[in-house]
Structure 1
């Protein structure tokens, strides 16, 4: 009995300590804001401890949209001990991402950073600084430059043909396919081969091994994301997911370390490679004693992890959404196929070089990105005190730019919730040069804008256009048991589908018999 009573007392003391800490933090913040003469953005009434958490649903972009209608396009929220600024208008996005681009050139990490084994060297999610500028220059001049992207055209073609061959087989057997599984496998294999082509040739299962670990890291990280905003709670791994996340990260680390050693051994033994992949280029920089920034092994591993986390599912999700809209709108699918046939003919498969001559295909992808952005919330962090729209923004403020709402603004887009690719055709009065590939139109932000715009946009764009083009050119699509696909999205701030896209491919054009 005594031990039970002692345990109960300890639990009570633990709970009281957490609540007291949060209350003191909130009290200090309120007093500080009261004394300050700064003009803060509007904010809804908050509750003790949880702040504005009670105003948010599991679908953050929609929750932010509802709050913006009441509190304006720029408002402030507190979730636990963290303060966020939410932007819901293109003009304000432009002010942040262009006028004050440097001030908002950092990103904040929304997730369980305390379990991350790589404590330094984040590029995609990292702070703006010397290392980030160095890596961005390396990406733009070597890793993802035009010649490097073109050098891997055979990889993209081979992986696309592998997918099409599998679908033709399923079609002849009357089998269903799960595009929600097929498409991430496609994009993962492409990135893996471009990143570590030599290792792939020695171990064809490498993409599967990496995909398994990355999915585990993403899954455990997503389950821990909630506790990250609750100050003291994030120090305690009450669910055990923190331990599992760390174990998955170390498993990934061991796999990448072995790959790096294999690359180094092959160079010592004088093995020749037909082409330099991303790992080759990074290891050259790693060995360069005159490099302006030290590129460590840990940074190389972290770079690849972020590459897989950011590049696989977003590209696959966009292709999947495009197929959903084309299945649900057969007249658009028919129009797209007619365009492809008029340009490509009926004797060969659509190629990357055909895309510039297929404006309707481009319009379909732009409309997909507009209505189903892979990153509906752009994350930024203020680097220094500044003013936005007359409001004082403090250094360190975390920012969500609601690209989902901006790209559905009825003041800009006619019938914004409808899938209308024609709005992006050159003769459309609504076009206004929207869909700029460089993020200069702040009404259209699927890849972000400014210094932190997506560096992998060129590769993603090529894969999306050729894959969607091939899937429509080669197959009719039927949904199992229904005429249309459910367009519900998952919870959180991602843009993926909530349900698997399971459908039947019916061969229309067999590229292997042409």
Structure 2
């Protein structure tokens, strides 16, 4: 009996100490200051300090207020993170508190109420989709199975550029590269539709529709920004969102039904949609996928893959044109490894270290996603500051890649800084593909696609422009150029003969 009483006393004492420690911790945390912040205006907060290119505007503010900065966009609190050290403190040391992305009305509606992989809350569904991306859709085995698709579409691109070279006409590389990425994603995602006899049809409808959805997803929603306007729809956005999603739903549902019908008749080559539909139809699947999950995922793949990869290639070519000594070094490496009797292929990349360094340096200066957003689940302390619950965390990847505390001569284009150094070591200083569990699953695809496209174009052509290429940035979430890269291609003789034969045979 005495032992039992002693046992209960110990338990009560332990509980008391726990409660006391928690109370002291909460008291101390409440005394912690918020991160530094500029003076806010009533109602609009700090909106007046943000320009059309947001990552540049918040970078300038961070130079004054530090790598952790607190901003109010209307009534929405935001923590701006502008250094790799602070990003790692938040997204690695405190990862479990920052695994979710904030709910944004436009995106939430378009993606069927967070049915998509990108904005789904961290949980069983998200973990399943991430594992499926890693093990199935973007695994080395899956990417190997689509090598011929990427090779064919790259060859088609080079032939289109060659025809411009023959006519001594300029080529809009930005436009051509987006066509290339759209075609590759379409062929990896879908079988050829019965109505796509000329390569167009429904799949082209999907691409056009996703472009419209992306624009609506990034549209500034006044009603969401200011709490007292939440019940109003001042911009008529709800109707536009509904019309766009209904149109997308109709198109993609037709594609899915036709895909299911074709799959029954012909096993054929497995496409990404086949994998998703197999899981949808599997009664014993670990997680039940809905048709809305599949539609939202397709939206993610097009939205995240079409622009970013094409724009990265475009920036890389612009940098090479402006740095002829780097261009020459890259071309010499291709000549040494590949020669002039065939086109460069993905299998050559392991021996093209300088080309890979060019791409990594491009991603440092021109990241495909200049910012990414998370949200705090509960209040916590970071670097001596209090971060309230439901604070949006905006990580400025663009600023981190240009941080003089991390990079020597950060504004210079110097691929040599990546030679002989493991990518993981450098990626921890860049955050280009996110951090931790919610990092981008398409990283492997990027490092297969971008280097081989860059290498193939500079292997086959000299790109002529008047003076230097303008390197200003345009407005958009994928860091586009303000105007596409336009140049006059001049075919190299040895490559011209090869491409001419390819064009004739096709």
Q: TM-score range by the shorter chain?
A: 0.7 to 0.9
Q: Secondary structure at the match of 1:223?
A: coil
1:114 Cα offset (Å)? 6.5
Alignment partner of 1:283: what SS? helix
* Alpha-carbon distance between aligned partners in 2 of 1:51 and 1:379, rounded to the nearest angstrom: 19
TM-score scaled by structure 2? 0.88
Q: Matched residues in 1 for 2:212 and 2:380: separation?
A: 39
Contact 2:84 2:431 in 1 (8 A): no
Q: Does 1:512 align with 2:502?
A: no
1:249 equivalent among 232, 245, 270: 245
| 2:254 aligned residue | 258
Residue 484 of structure 1 corresponds to 468
Q: Which residue of 2 aligns with 1:407?
A: 401
- Tell me whether 199-208 or 149-158 shows the greater mean CA deviation: 199-208
1:68-106 Cα shifts (integer Å, max 9, x gaps): 122221111111110100111111111122222222111
Q: CA deviation at 1:232?
A: 4.2
2:489 partner SS: strand
Tell me, yes or no, if the aligned pair for 1:107 and 1:381 is still in contact at 8 Å: yes
Question: Does residue 474 of structure 2 align to residue 495 of structure 1?
Answer: no
The 3 A distance-change label for structure 1 pair 260 and 493 is closer
Query: 1:456 Cα deviation (Å)?
Result: 0.9
Contact 1:317 1:495 in 2 (8 A): yes
Deviations 1:248-278 (A, max 9, x none): 22211111101111122234xx422332111
| Counterparts in 2 of 1:493 and 1:313: CA distance versus 1, 3 Å | closer
Q: Could you tell me which residue of structure 1 aligns to residue 444 of structure 2?
A: 458
CA distance in 1, matches of 2:129, 2:426: 22
Deviation at 1:242, TM superposition (A): 4.3
Instruction: Measure the CA separation in 2 of the matches of 1:134 and 1:355.
Output: 31
Q: Which moved more, 1:487-496 or 1:98-107?
A: 487-496
Aligned residue for 1:512, secondary structure, equals helix
Residue 217 of structure 1: CA displacement?
Answer: 1.7
Aligned equivalent of 1:18 = none
SS of the aligned residue for 2:193 comes to helix
Provide the rounded CA distance (Å) in 2 between the counterparts of 1:160 and 1:119: 36
Return the alpha-carbon distance in structure 2 between the equivalents of residues 477 and 241 of structure 1.
43
Offset, 1:246: 2.7
Unaligned 5+ residue runs, structure 2? 1-28, 502-506
- Alignment CA distance shift 1:443-1:95 (3 Å): same
Deviation at 1:333? Answer: 1.0
Residue aligned with 1:395, SS: coil
Q: Deviations over 1:192-241 (max 9, x none)?
A: 11111243894521442222111122223333446542334465444445
Q: Given the alignment, which residue of 99, 104, 110 partners 2:98?
A: 104
Q: Is 2:416 the counterpart of 1:467? A: no
In 2: Cα distance, 1:218 partner to 1:227 partner: 19
8 Å contact kept, 2:34–2:386: yes
The alpha-carbon distance between structure 1 residues 227 and 62, as it changes in their structure 2 partners (threshold 3 A), is: farther
Match of 2:429 in 1: 443
**Corresponding residue of 2:12:** none
RMSD between superposed Cα atoms in Å? 2.2
Residue 177 of structure 2 corresponds to residue 191 of structure 1 = no
8 Å contact kept, 1:406–1:443? yes
- TM-score, normalised relative to structure 1: 0.86
Structure 1 residue runs of 5 or longer lacking an equivalent are: 1-34
Contact preservation (8 Å) 2:106, 2:216: no
Q: In structure 2, how many angstroms separate the alpha carbons of the residues matched to 1:180 and 1:328?
A: 17
Equivalent residues of 1:327, 1:333 under 8 A apart? yes
- Number of residue-to-residue matches in the alignment: 469
In the alignment, is residue 154 of structure 1 matched against residue 148 of structure 2? yes
For residue 513 of structure 1, report the CA deviation from its aligned partner: 4.7
Q: CA deviation at 1:158?
A: 0.6
C-alpha spacing 1:394/1:51, structure 2 compared with 1 (3 Å): same
Change in Cα spacing, 1:219 to 1:492, as seen in structure 2 (3 Å) is closer
Q: Does the residue aligned with 1:112 lie in a helix, a strand or coil? A: helix
Cα distance, 1:370 vs structure 2: 0.2
1:392 to 368, 374, 386: 386
- Residues in 2 aligned to 1:241 and 1:470: alpha-carbon distance in whole angstroms: 43
Partner secondary structure for residue 103 of structure 1: helix
